[in-house]
Structure 1
Amino acid sequence: MLLVYENKDKGISAEWKKTVHMPPHLHEAIEVVYVTNGNIALGVGMELYNMDEGDFAIVFPNVIHHYQVFDEKENKAIFLYIDPAVLSGFLKELQIYSPKNPVLKKENVHPDVVHAIKFLMQNPECTPILAQAYAQIILAYVFTEIPMIDKKSLGSNDLIYNSVEYIAKNFRDEISLEKMAFDLGISKYVLSRMFAKTFHCNFSKYLNGVRLNYAVGALENTQDTITNICLECGFESQRTFNRVFKERYKITPREYRKRLEIGL
């Protein structure tokens, strides 16, 4: 189970897809979820919230969350990813606060919110001004209907949670098992055993997995050079980046980008 740091910070994007288990992840986008079929469970912090058809949820930027699916029947949801820059008037609130309960049940979801979500899903080529207007409708109802709490209160003394959060915030820097253990105030041997037992890999493999997830997002969504992406992800050299990337994807980052360009 790897933490994913997703590069979802480019305007507004939408996906309507079958829901599956998703590991703990975070990103700089606002994530909106609207269940259209079946049910899913959204985990935020240490809480797990059940969502049924017609329910709505929102996750603010840089909040660790995950999804679980317990039902074998078809479960589908619309996922919207909104760059906070699109909602500049709310930037301060988005940085400080998070919904106390991120889920609104179907009976409490205003029809205007449903309409806005479906419009953004069905009209990906609409003008930026129109997209921004619909995004503001969604957020206005969120701040009206959902009590807010300080993001810091979502933290936990749980070692797994703290480890996920620590690597998510520091993977771009030069970090080691020893430094992470020191910063978290625990023994490096305890931390090493946690990685082996919980994530079924060692610290280095976990860290490289987080960096690769970010790198793939950059390769897919930016025109940045591979060298810059390598350094931005925290790899010490492009040679190491290429080796680790090829171990997972069986091709080099350059070949990966080329396949994207030709639509493979």
Structure 2
Amino acid sequence: MQPFYEDKQDEFRCTLTRDITFPAHLHSAVELIYLLEGSLEVTVQNQTKRIRKDEAALIFPDMVHSYLTTDACLGILCIFSPAYARDYYHLFRKQQPESPFLSSGTRNPDIPLAFGRMLRYRELSLSVSAAWLNLILSFLLSDTVLLPRDSTDSADVGYRLISYVSQHFQEPLTLDSLARELHFNKYYISRVFTARLRCGFYEYVNRLRLDYAARQLRTTDQRITAIWQDAGFESQKTFNRNFLACYHMTPSRYRKTQAPIGEVFPQS
């Protein structure tokens, strides 16, 4: 997955995700995650919940969110531009859910079916997959209380840090350079990352770079050397060490071991 800050104007991605753990991030797309197995702790803004099988979380654009798997989980992750949700485009811009956590799938048998169809058609027909997405949204949002959209507090330190790092992670970044750019003391920034984002500054930057590299490995034929350089790593040795620690396999093996859709949603 690649869930950090980007302006995804034309994007629609639907993938299986296993044991997802990702620190606080935000982006201009909508993010929808649906659990097939296990449990996942999801935090959106200041709300946290452990979602389980047939439960979902719907994250509106520019909302800070994070994932934490403590045991194991398997889910469907869909990241899409609001433009793909024809009937909900303005809703995503002007409103937000009272709670981003949705349990409709535990009560409506059509929702698990719709998620499976959306995943299956992602490679066969983007328009068909997007149509299933809109059906899913109609199911989920019918049970959702919506509120007027809060204006983002640009003065919030955590928000500013996430926004800046998410947009510049491919560049050389240090606590000193970040402190100069945002006019904060570097020790204060370090404490914010530890206290509010649950990880250190360099751990956060590395996680964004690894996530970017993993997506490139999955979706392109680009050479691994070009990928780690584009991701912002200073050397292949550093990249390989961090990738192995995060994904428990080498980059080349990771590229070869992606779970086929049929393992979860058989055709028969």
CA deviation digits over 1:61-82, x for unaligned, max 9?
A: 5543223457x6xx64532324
Other-structure match for 2:242 = 248
Do the aligned residues in 2 keep the contact of 1:28 with 1:83 (CA within 8 Å)? no
Equivalent residues in 2 for 1:192-203, closer than 5 Å: 192-194=190-192, 201=200, 203=201
- Measured at CA, do residues 170 and 63 of structure 1 come closer, stay the same or move farther in structure 2, by a change above 3 Å? farther
Number of residue pairs matched by the alignment: 249
Equivalent residues in 2 for 1:21-170, closer than 5 Å: 22-26=22-26, 30-36=30-36, 39-61=39-61, 63-68=63-68, 76-84=73-81, 87=84, 89=86, 94=92, 98-106=96-104, 110-121=108-119, 126-146=124-144, 147=146, 149-150=148-149, 152-153=151-152, 157=156, 159-160=157-158, 162-170=160-168
CA distance in 2 between partners of 1:84 and 1:230 (Å) = 27
- Measured at CA, do residues 165 and 76 of structure 1 come closer, stay the same or move farther in structure 2, by a change above 3 Å? same
**Aligned partner of residue 186 in structure 1, secondary structure:** coil
Do the aligned residues in 2 keep the contact of 1:6 with 1:214 (CA within 8 Å)? no
Do the aligned residues in 2 keep the contact of 1:78 with 1:121 (CA within 8 Å)? no
CA distance in 1 between partners of 2:48 and 2:128 (Å) = 34
CA deviation digits over 1:236-262, x for unaligned, max 9?
A: xx8x24243133246xxxxx6654566
Structure 2 residue identity aligned to 1:15:
L
**Aligned partner of residue 223 in structure 1, secondary structure:** coil
CA deviation digits over 1:38-95, x for unaligned, max 9?
A: 654321112113434443321235543223457x6xx645323243287163556546
CA deviation digits over 1:209-251, x for unaligned, max 9?
A: 4223312322321234557645643x3xx8x24243133246x
**Aligned partner of residue 170 in structure 2, secondary structure:** coil
- Measured at CA, do residues 145 and 182 of structure 1 come closer, stay the same or move farther in structure 2, by a change above 3 Å? farther
- Which of the two has greater helix per residue? 1
Do the aligned residues in 1 keep the contact of 2:105 with 2:111 (CA within 8 Å)? no
Do the aligned residues in 1 keep the contact of 2:58 with 2:101 (CA within 8 Å)? yes
Percent identity between matched residues is 21
CA distance in 2 between partners of 1:214 and 1:49 (Å) = 26
- Measured at CA, do residues 231 and 27 of structure 1 come closer, stay the same or move farther in structure 2, by a change above 3 Å? farther
Structure 1 residue identity aligned to 2:16:
E
CA distance in 2 between partners of 1:84 and 1:258 (Å) = 30
CA distance in 2 between partners of 1:225 and 1:28 (Å) = 29
Do the aligned residues in 2 keep the contact of 1:220 with 1:257 (CA within 8 Å)? no
**Aligned partner of residue 34 in structure 1, secondary structure:** strand
Q: What RMSD, in angstroms, separates the aligned Cα atoms of the two structures?
A: 4.5
Do the aligned residues in 2 keep the contact of 1:45 with 1:154 (CA within 8 Å)? no
- Measured at CA, do residues 77 and 228 of structure 1 come closer, stay the same or move farther in structure 2, by a change above 3 Å? closer
